[in-house]
Chain A
Amino acid sequence: MDLRKVAVVYRKELIDLLRDRKTVLSLVLFPLVFFPLMTVGFGTVERKMRDRVRGQESLVMILGEEHAPSLAQAIRETEKIRVVPAADDYVDQLNFKKLHAAVQIPQGFAQAPPPGGDPPHVKILFYSTQIRSETAATRLEETIRQHHNQLVEQRTSSYGLTPEMLNPVTPQRQNVADPQRVGGMKLGMLLPYFITFLCVVGAMGPAIDLTAGEKERGTLETILASGIGRGELVMGKFLTVLTGSLTTTLFSIGSFALTVLLAEDYMKDMTRGQAYTVSVSSVFWVLVLIVPLAVLFSAVMMTVTLFAKSFKEGQTQGSMVMFAAIVPAMVGMLPGIDLNPTLAILPVLNVSLVLKEILTGVMPWGMMGLTFASSCAYAALALKIATQTFQKESVLFRV
């Protein structure tokens, strides 16, 4: 293989690609606006909506108020709760969101239950999955719990007991994980997915253009007839596609890092309120692991789109590759999937899982090595197949 010839092909394809301003725009602009839009845009809307729900009054109905006047009084005095007159159609009203929650107090609430019998049971009726209804139920629950605790205290002292005697032992959770790791968890779940996605998207455009697009324009024959070997041609084209993929990925990681640093306030929504920073070394290792993945995607994309007869067909086949690449990345998002040696040799999924660890501040060196090595092996295999496919006239001239 003549490196100079490879460089000629690469430069030619790159110039071709850069001349099309729209391609450049989609390779660079898309990843650049993606992360800020996702965090700041969605953060703003979500926060605004949450604040609005928090500030809104809940409409509540008390059924059987006469059985427990003091509890009813406590509910009436709760902030942001408006009690509406009791009506029989409360279930309908709940279903039609005219009412947010209802409290059902049973008969004989104030009387002591028969010995061995169950204490009276108060029900809080609400519409599950409706945010205003759930907020109302939570507010009611809080008031009722306070009332409940007051009654318990009264009884305790009336029996001559102290509250301490009734509270011999309490379990208390204490977080010992590094705040950086706690904060990185949710991000570590989403980010590998987005990075993988952008890595494929970045390879797709150039790959289609350099294979199926070339067929469609009828220039494939011309280029094959030039004094450049088939292998050099593939290499040059492959490097162009790889450049596209890496550019998109680089810009997306850069934009992510900037978002983390600048939009700190919004990031807190995604990091459980923990301070989160990205270290230079973690960004570096993310990049190192992404390179074999980008090679794999570029080679596979080129091989598949080479079979396409036209640009249009290339697009369909390219989206299928994208779909196939995204699914393992999605599996990597699931909570509870942890890296192990078996998963570390599954393509795409392994990189997702390792990136997840790195972003939460863990550096599992052994797994990182295994993942890098296996990704490189897959990438080399894909590249070999791409080269071989370019040798087949039946594929090249499939029109």
Chain B
Amino acid sequence: MNLRNIGVVYRKELRDMLRDRRTIINAILIPLLAFPVLLVGFVGVAIFVASRATEKDLKVMILNEAEAPEVAQRIRRELSFVMVQPSEDYVDAINNKRLHLAVEFPAQMEEKIRTAPAEPHTVKLYHFEGQIRSTAAARRVERIVNAYRDEVIAARLESRGLDRGALEPFTFEKENAASADRVTGSILGFLLPYFVILLSLTGAMYPALDLTAGEKERGTMETILASPVHRGDLVAGKFLLTLTFSLVTTSLSIVSLAATVLGGAGLIGQVSKGFVFAVSGTAISAVLFLLLPVTVLFSAGLMAIAVYARNYRDAQNYLAPLMFVVILPAMASMVPGMELNARLALVPILNISLAAREILTGQYQWGLIALIFGSTAAYAAGALVVVARQFNREEVIFRV
């Protein structure tokens, strides 16, 4: 193997690639823009729509206002409600989303509460289960009724000369104890591994196709084979270029995704109060490091398959199912409760997806990380050997 020759091949291919402006757009601009646009844009719209949907024009009907004038008055005063005249067909109206909630009081509720304190009452809230506006309206009315109940209880206690707090032995609440960067990390850890693995595959895809099947299609494969460059050097140069693209796409997408999450934090913070976003630089670089053997695996694997294809389109047909094969294990980071162990650490791609999630939540299981890096490097080496072999077989290279 001759390093200078490899350098020549690499430079030639790189120049070829860079001249095609569309490549740059595909490999760099799209992953860089896709995250901010998709994530921030989509999350922003989602939050905007959801907050507007639950805070405005909730259509509420009170079926028998006379039974509880006080509570009904409070419901009427709720700003987000639009009151609808009571009518018989409320079930139909709720089903067709013309009405979000119907409130039904028991007979003579408020009067009985005053005169017969031992009798419990139930206020019925007719709603559309799971429909967000219906649920929001129900929650608000529940709050109003509960506030009324607390007042009644306080008055009853007071009439017996008891303190308001006399019945409250203690209060309790759940509280998040994890640091901000860990909570951010678990959100990032959910999405990032999947997207980054996918993008390191697509980043390698274009050059891998162009340098093998594309070369066949253009009829330049024979020419380049006839040049005084050894077959091994040729493969090495082509492979390094594919690897470069995969690496560039991968690192840019990681940076872009992290920046998006941090940048979009203000937006999300407005809605979920007290949510602080932070990402540790160490975690990001550790993930990037772990992805190195993956990019090698993808570059070599894609080239090995694409060189077998007759032409560009043929190659594309082979690679489409491959995408599926990669996407499924990459989704492991999105499965809650799946945890890394020695056996899963040997499953390619799935291991990276899980390890990246752990790293982003601040967990470094060095033994497993080493095992993952080692096993992925072994798979990558295997793929490299296959590519080198494929290029040495004339029936593959000249398969048209």
Q: Which residues of A contact B (CB under 8 A)?
A: 22, 26, 45-46, 49-50, 52-53, 90-91, 94-97, 102, 109, 113, 115-133, 137, 141, 144-145, 148, 151-152, 155-156, 159, 161-162, 164-178, 181-182, 185-186, 213, 272, 311-313, 315-316, 330-331, 334-338, 362
Contacts and interface: CB of A to CB of B under 8 A. Distances in A.
A164 B116 CA distance: 11
Most B Cβ at <10 Å: residue of A125, A152, A171:
A171
Contact of A95 (B26, B53, B179): B179
Interface stretch (B169-177, B247-255, B279-287, B387-395): B169-177
B120 interface: yes
A177 B173 CA distance: 33
A74 B2 CA distance: 74
Contacts of A130: 178, 186, 361
A114 B174 CA distance: 25
Contacts, number: 227
Interface in B113-140: 113, 117-134, 138
A185 B177 CA distance: 35
B175 A176 contact: no
Contact of B175 (A123, A144, A311): A123
A129 B185 CA distance: 10
Contact of A173 (B119, B127, B160): B127
A120 B210 CA distance: 69
Contacts of B119: 164
Contact of A175 (B128, B133, B146, B170): B128
B170 A141 contact: no
Contact of B50 (A102, A178, A334): A334
A115 B163 contact: yes
Given A170-B120, A330-B42, A337-B49, A177 B178 contact: no
Contacts of A173: 125, 127, 129, 138, 142
A106 to B, nearest CB: 8
B3 interface: no
B335 interface: yes
B132 A316 contact: no
Contact of B128 (A137, A176, A337): A176
A316 B22 contact: yes
B121 A182 contact: no
Contacts of B109: 169
Given A137-B174, A338-B97, A53 B337 contact: yes
Contact of B156 (A165, A272, A330): A165
B77 interface: no
A171 B125 contact: yes
B177 A102 contact: yes
Interface string B159-200: 010110111111111111111001100110000000000000
A378 to B, nearest CB: 22
Contacts of B160: 159, 161
A53 B337 CA distance: 6
A37 B176 CA distance: 36
Nearest to B155: A168
B117 A168 contact: yes
A164 B90 CA distance: 31
A144 B313 contact: no
B165 A113 contact: yes
Nearest to A71: B170
B375 interface: no
A177 B125 contact: no
Given A124-B174, A168-B120, A170-B120, 9 more contacts: A26-B317, A119-B170, A128-B176, A145-B172, A169-B123, A173-B129, A176-B128, A316-B22, A334-B45
Contacts of B214: 312
Top 4 nearest A-B pairs (CB, nearest first) are A336-B53, A125-B177, A49-B337, A151-B169
Contacts of A159: 160, 162, 166-167
A193 B58 CA distance: 27
Given A109-B170, A121-B172, A173-B138, A335 B132 contact: yes
Contacts of A94: 177-178
Nearest to A96: B363
Interface in B67-126: 90-91, 94-97, 102, 109, 113, 117-126
A262 to B, nearest CB: 22
Contacts of B26: 316
B149 interface: yes
Nearest to B314: A22
A169 B179 contact: no
A91 B131 CA distance: 38
B122 A362 contact: no
A119 B134 CA distance: 35
Contacts of B336: 46, 49-50, 53, 131
A120 B170 contact: yes
A18 to B, nearest CB: 15
Contacts of B289: none
B255 to A, nearest CB: 22
B291 to A, nearest CB: 23
Given A128-B178, A176-B128, A311 B121 contact: no
Contacts of B148: 169
B66 interface: no
15 contacts: A96-B362, A116-B165, A121-B172, A141-B172, A141-B174, A164-B119, A166-B153, A166-B167, A171-B145, A172-B125, A176-B102, A177-B95, A213-B313, A312-B312, A336-B50
A151 B172 CA distance: 13
